[in-house]
Amino acid sequence: MAERRRTRISSKITQLPEEVKEQLDELLLDTSNTYEEIAKWLKSEGYEISKSAVGRYAIRANQATQRVVETLEKTKAIAAAVEKNPDLDYTRASRMVLMDGLMQRVSTAEEEFQEMPLDKAGRLIASLSRTETYEQRVRQDMKKKSELAFEQLEAELMAAIKQDPELTKELHSILSRAREKVLKDGD
């Protein structure tokens, strides 16, 4: 049986009062402060916390901040793309961004597997692939239905105007152009 991984991190720093944590975060933002100096400051405030604990907390805080920044950038990119091109399917754009993030995780597997198990990444990739396959199937189905509708419309119109050969030829040309445009836009 696989060993359960700890996902919650509890440290002395997470148990600090909120105002002390805020001051600690400010000290960490100033890169001129060393972890040792910050640990000494914490001790002067009455908290016995090692420089290693401060370092681990700083790494976790930086990783969390980085994830938030990346998510905001991706969200802005999707919003900008949809704003620029209203015809763009935002769910498709979002899925592409998600797939890109998953592929980055898989490509840096040795570091990232500590945070995401391989089987979970595989399931997510498979799910996205199924969604894309479904979308392609729906697109093909819509294309077939459009083709059938145009054929039926053309047959009905041709039957109605068979007496005028010039009009028949012109209508056939118009329907052909319309069919090409609709089927091209569906791709």
Q: What does the domain layout of the chain look like in residue ranges?
A: 10-71
CA atoms of 46 and 11, how far apart (whole Å): 16
In whole angstroms, give the CA distance from residue 46 to residue 82. 53
At 43, the pLDDT band (50, 70, 90 cuts) reads very high
- Would you state the pLDDT for residue 119? 73
Of 24 and 10, more confident = 24
Question: ∠ CA(52), CA(54), CA(56), 5° rounding?
Answer: 70
Q: Can you state the angle between helices 51-84 and 18-29, rounded to 10 degrees? A: 80
Asked whether the predicted pLDDT for residue 8 surpasses 60, the reply is no
* Structure tokens, 61: 């805080």
Q: What is the DSSP string of 112-154?
A: HTTTS-HHHHHHHHHHHHHHHHHHHHHHHHHHHHHHHHHHHHH
Q: What is the pTM of this model?
A: 0.42
Q: Which of 64, 62, 37, 59 is nearest to 49 (CA)?
A: 37
